[in-house]
Amino acid sequence: MNGREQTRGGCGASRNCKRCGTNDAFNIAFGYSFEPTVSSPFQSLSSDLTCTMNLGQQPPTAKLVYAIAGGTEHSNRYGPENILLDRPEDASSRWSTAYQTPRVKQFILLRLEYLSIIKTITFGKYHKQHPCNMKEFKVYVGMTEDRMMEALNGGLKNDSFPEAFPLKHTNSSGLCFPARFVKIVPLSAHGQSFHTSIWYVSLAGIADQCYVEEVRIRYEEHLESVTLRRILKHLRQRRLLTPYQSLLSRVNVQFEHPLISSLYEQLVIKGSFSSLKDVVDSISREGLLDSYLYLSQPKAAWKRLHGSDPDGDRPSKRSAHAMCMDEDNGVVYLLGGWDGQENLDDFWAYDVNEDTWRLLSQNTSEERNGPGRRSCHKVVFDKRTGCIYVLGRMGDEEMSGQGDPNSSTPTAQQPGEAGSSPCSEFYRYHTRGLDVGKWDLLSFDTASAGGPPLIFDHQMAIDSEAQMIYVFGGRVVDQKSIKYSGLYSYNIRTNKWKMLQSVDSARSSHEVSIPPRSGHSMVLEPSSNTLIIFAGQREDKYLSDMYTYHIETGTVAEVFSDYTMDGGPKPCFTQRAVLDPDLREIYIFCGLSRQLPGNQIIIQAQAPHWVYRYPTALCSEKGKWTKLISVDPPAGVDAEEIQPKPRYAHQLAYDRRTKTVFMHGGNAGIRDSTPDGAEVNAEEGAVEEKEIRLDDFWSMQLQRPPRSEVARKVMFEIRKQQFREMCEDEPTVDALNFLRNEVSSVVDHSCPEEEDVFRSLLSHLVAQSPRVESVRDRTRQLAEEVPSVSLSLADIDDDMSATSPMDTTPSATPSLDPPSGAPLSWEQDPEEKCLKGDSVELPAERFKQRTEVLQRILTFINEEAKEPEDDLIHFMDGW
């Protein structure tokens, strides 16, 4: 594949907070048809949304005023007040530590004028390299001097450029917190045996006092709630039910979902095993097990779509086209592309509900103000206005250096001419309203309006709520050299472009910035208002890094320098990605891969699709990569008939409502003589005619285990405990029959791990030493009746020898009296007697066993529906 052809195949596919999804999202994602009854398990996991959601739109970020509050000793005249002024030419305008050794803790303490939400810190520097420049450092923030948390652990370059860093200003629950004090702790200088110097410090964030006060109140309430819930958990686990109930009745805190409280009462207190099946079924119906389903391995269920228009026509074979979707009306739009011989300018609409294509325009170049033939362009759909925006191209004239006489694309000067500067046109198409079906030429040349130059293989994303479009990267159309474009925003309301990050700023490395690239992926995470950018190509190198750009603060964070090393896909070019903010997942499909510059280019044939799950909406933190496997094909059906073949330069659209990905076309590489299952060669220099372009159209939905599967796992945990208690309290025959009938029915015998656990349950019978012979006899008797319980005597002996002394001790055997002075007696609580309704005392060991079973069951339960995961006692560890 030559350079031209690779590029042809290489185009990439609210400010106000919203809750992170509802049960509708899960019902669709997991294939459920019943009505949802509770909100999504991720409703409370949104990031920095909690305050925004209830407080309205955040005030703008501004520079914060601070004063020097204190610090350790400083050297000579280099006092802390020097960092208040940015004087890079003045060698004495700095704060320097008094000691050269890093073993002495040294710091400078800043006090803000007002309590604020601190978002960024900027360090100014001397006008040239200096051995005293601070290298490694930490930053702590807090509302008081003695109550501070680490907000940044970073490092500075030894150069003259200022560096800005985002500061942590949300907690693990995604709640904003304010601060008044900032402590900067230098850890090392660039020069060995030199004092560490800080030249200038600037802070930025939100200082609006009404807003910050509301944030402070909500944050303090959150801390109170978290503390009380941990205390409640500690009391209940320690069998102190009377103070637990007393505290619970006096505070306005929801400790857990009522169904989980019912589970605790029936399992731990009453041991009412016969009623637990109904409780577990109710928990499942309420969606309280959905978090576990979300974390399970998804499978892709692909469906080939064969729809056409009334004449039987549909979009032809192509790559490097562009697609977007009107989710509200269920319409996918497709424009242009490259068919292997020429650029296309046909414009199609696909009706998802009717499974039909409709040709909107055979040649948009012949439409008034319509775009000319193009490939490697991008389109986005504005759901608020129903408009489609089109930007970028690699036109025929850009490749040949000659204009296309049939194209309506305005090209006052063509590339290749002396002093030429190709124009970057910007178009809008109306899908509804008075101007439905009409095109607008918004800009003859976006570069002259402050926007990007003519580019291809870039990416676009739209925030319809804020009426903003974001464009990043891509190759600049320039025959003289390889150039890349930066990051731009376009305000739809004002028709104004703004450069957010230039290519020169990225190369100068004076601050954390996104390296330039093309053929990458970019998605907008709407809850946190963050762009996520990853993969692509820069010069001869394929990339596997990931960056985030927080739009409100303009800060960049590197999430992965190489996500392949963290279990992610190989470095990739022209892969396609879509994001589902409800599920906090990014779906990545296919692409070209090359491990090292100069290596053979391949289309990945194995595991070309991936799911990336980002933690809450804190996109700057590392998430988890999972290979996306397809459902198993029916017997006798070729896998290629139920899933798309590997490809690149294809296009995607995504419907968040139905959780459906739509994929069309692309380039399948050179496959004439390629063995089945082998990776497809896409090497530069290959004969163009052998490349296969595709016109297939697919839909894909993820399948996850049904809720009933998780409910089965929960019941397995419950019946294991029930069997254990029967071994101690009931006749051996009854216990073995229960193992054969009730426990076996909730075991996945095809799973080796579960089968091993199931077989090991006999050790609870063997542990009762007075009954060993009867167990052996009964095992012989059941060997032919129950194959799943037919353990040999050698198996039983193995179980006896493998069982630890702790396991072989009958759990109901009274434990030794607690040592004198022990803080807990584990005796039955008076409140427990009331709940049980009988006088039979539950032994302490059995109470602990049941509590442990409950803890294992809670691993399946949604986070916001259960008690806190961490224990209060762990916060005291080491005190």
- For residues 289-297, average pLDDT: 86
Question: Confidence band (pLDDT; 50, 70, 90) for 29?
Answer: very low
> What pLDDT score was predicted for residue 493?
96
User: What is the pLDDT, as a whole number, of residue 616?
Assistant: 73
Q: Where in the chain do CATH 2.60.120.260 domains reside?
A: 62-207
Beta-strand ranges (E) seen in 629-670 are 629-630, 651-655, 660-670
Q: What is the mean pLDDT of residues 363-390?
A: 97
Q: Measured in whole angstroms, how far is the alpha carbon of residue 769 from the centre of its chain? A: 52
Give the model's confidence band at 754: pLDDT under 50 very low, under 70 low, under 90 confident, else very high.
Answer: very high
In what helix (H) or strand (E) does residue 728 lie, and over which residues does it extend? helix 707-729
Count Cβ neighbours within 10 Å for each residue of 47-75 and write b for 16 or more, e otherwise.
bbbbbbeebeebeebeebebebbebeebb
The arrangement of strands across the sheet holding 680-681 comes to 572-573, 592-593, 602-603, 680-681
Return the minimum-mean-pLDDT range out of 21-25, 176-180, 229-233, 263-267.
Answer: 21-25
State yes or no: pLDDT of 45 exceeds 50: no
Of residues 33 and 248, more confidence is placed in: 248
Tens of pLDDT, residue by residue over 512-536, are: 689 999 999 999 999 889 999 999 9
DSSP designation for 297: P
Mean pLDDT of 79-85: 95
- Report the C-alpha gap between 416 and 347 in whole angstroms: 29
pLDDT at 802: 46
Closest C-alpha to 194, from 261, 240, 133, 251: 133
Helix axes 273-285, 707-729, angle to 10 degrees: 170
At 52 the pLDDT is 40
Predicted local distance difference test score (pLDDT) of residue 215:
94
Q: What are the residues facing 573 on neighbouring strands? A: 592
682 — pLDDT class (breaks 50, 70, 90): very low
Mean of the pLDDT values across residues 303-321? 95
Domain with CATH 2.120.10.80 in the chain: 3-38+298-703
Residues in the chain: 879
Superfamily of domain 3-38+298-703: Kelch-type beta propeller (2.120.10.80)
**In 3D, which of 822, 717, 688, 756 has the Cα closest to residue 7?**
688
Confidence label for 602 from pLDDT (cuts 50, 70 and 90) = low
202-222: average pLDDT: 94
Helix (H) or strand (E) holding 28: helix 23-30
Nearest partner of 766 among 779, 754, 756, 753, judged by Cα: 779
299-304 and 629-630 beta bridge pairing:
parallel
How sure is the predictor about 380, in pLDDT bands with cuts at 50, 70 and 90?
very high
Instruction: Return the minimum-mean-pLDDT range out of 98-112, 127-141, 330-344, 463-477.
Output: 98-112
Look up the CATH superfamily of 62-207: Galactose-binding domain-like (2.60.120.260)
Of 209-218, 223-232, 658-667, 773-782, give the lowest mean pLDDT range: 773-782
Residue 245 token pair: 């109930």
Q: What is the pLDDT of residues 453-484, one digit of tens each?
A: 999 999 999 999 999 999 999 999 976 788 99
d(CA 766, CA 342): 78
Pairing, β 66-71 against β 299-304: unpaired
Residue 862 near residue 289 (C-beta atoms within 8 A): yes
Give the whole-angstrom CA distance, residue 409 versus residue 92. 59
For residues 560 and 612, give the distance between their C-alpha atoms in angstroms, rounded to a whole number.
Answer: 12
Residues 6+ apart with CB under 8 A from 630: 299, 300, 301, 302, 639, 642, 643
Question: Are 348 and 391 spatial neighbours (Cβ–Cβ below 8 Å)?
Answer: no
More confident residue, 779 or 327: 327
pLDDT band at 505 (very low <50, low <70, confident <90, very high): low
Over residues 22-51, the mean pLDDT reads 36
Whether residue 794 is predicted with pLDDT greater than 70 in this model: the reply is no
Q: How far is CA 716 from CA 70, 764, 849, 857, in A?
A: 59, 16, 15, 10
pLDDT for residue 674 is more than 70: no
Would you state the pLDDT for residue 804?
Answer: 40
Residue 862 is predicted with a pLDDT of: 92
Residue 534 makes CB contacts below 8 A (sequence gap 6+) with: 520, 521, 543, 544, 545, 546, 547, 559, 560, 563, 577
Question: Which of 127-136, 365-374, 398-407 is the least confident region?
Answer: 398-407
When pLDDT is cut at 50, 70 and 90, the band that residue 619 belongs to is confident
Residue with tokens 């805190």, as numbered in its chain: 253
Choice among 135-149, 507-521, 533-547, 827-841 with the minimum mean pLDDT: 507-521
Nearest CA to 71 out of 61, 83, 59 is that of: 83
434: pLDDT strictly greater than 70: yes
Q: What are phi and psi of 587, to 5 degrees?
A: -105, 125
Beta bridge partners of 197: 96, 133
Q: How confident is the model at residue 745 (pLDDT cuts 50, 70, 90)?
A: very high
Q: Name 189's bridge partners.
A: 134
Q: Band of the pLDDT at 378, cuts 50, 70, 90?
A: very high
- Phi, psi (deg, nearest 5) at residue 493: -65, -40
Cα–Cα distance measured from residue 40 to residue 54, given in angstroms and rounded to the nearest whole number: 18
Which pLDDT belongs to residue 598? 52
- pLDDT over 70, % of the chain: 78
Measured CA to CA, the distance from residue 557 to residue 532 in angstroms comes to 10
pLDDT at 336 over 50: yes
Taking the C-alpha atoms of residue 687 and residue 682, their distance in angstroms, rounded to an integer, is 10
| pLDDT surpassing 80 at residue 767 | no
| pLDDT for res 33 | 33
DSSP code per residue over 561-608: S-GGGGT-PPSEES-EEEEETTTTEEEEE--EE-SSTTSPPEE--SS-
- In this predicted structure, the answer to whether residue 855 has a pLDDT above a threshold of 60 is yes
Tell me the average pLDDT across 735-762: 93
Place 839 in a pLDDT band, splitting at 50, 70 and 90. Answer: low
CB atoms near residue 147 (< 10 Å): 9
Q: Which of 717, 691, 545, 532 is nearest to 618 (CA)?
A: 532
Looking at the chain, the whole-number percentage of residues with pLDDT higher than 90 is 59
Q: How far apart are CA 580 and CA 578, in angstroms?
A: 7
- Mean pLDDT across the chain, nearest whole number? 82
More confident residue, 421 or 671: 421
- State the pLDDT confidence band at 778, using cuts at 50, 70 and 90: low
pLDDT tier, 558 (very low <50, low <70, confident <90, very high otherwise): confident
